[in-house]
Amino acid sequence: MKTIPKFKDQSQEIAFWEENDVTDFFDTKSAKTVRFPNLKKSTKTISLRLPEDMLETIKVKANALDIPYQSFIKMLLQKELSVSK
């Protein structure tokens, strides 16, 4: 196995890994699956246009569940995606 060099900064490390293969530096046969249960998923802000009456209905239903309407929308999307699998 090759030795990973010391890097002065993150950009130098990024450039290094763009040019090198990780399998030259790590024994992938001894790799183990790791879980990070407390790691939050990355999120991306989107803009979504909804009819006003639909948004109002969503807000009313979210309020009945005592959750923010954005969270309620995510719940609905996740439920639909799970069913579609």
- At 67 the pLDDT is 97
* pTM attached to this predicted model: 0.53
Q: What whole-number distance in Å separates Cα of residue 33 and Cα of residue 38?
A: 16
State the average pLDDT over residues 46-74: 97
User: Which sequence spans correspond to the domains of the chain?
Assistant: 10-84
Q: What whole-number distance in Å separates Cα of residue 65 and Cα of residue 59?
A: 10
Which amino acid is residue 17, in one-letter code?
Answer: W
Q: Where are the alpha helices (DSSP H) in the chain?
A: 10-19, 52-64, 69-84
- At 84 the pLDDT is 67
Q: What whole-number distance in Å separates Cα of residue 69 and Cα of residue 60?
A: 8
Asked whether residue 85 carries a pLDDT value surpassing 80, the answer given is no
Q: What whole-number distance in Å separates Cα of residue 80 and Cα of residue 38?
A: 24
Q: List pLDDT tens digits, range 4-23.
A: 999 999 999 999 999 999 88
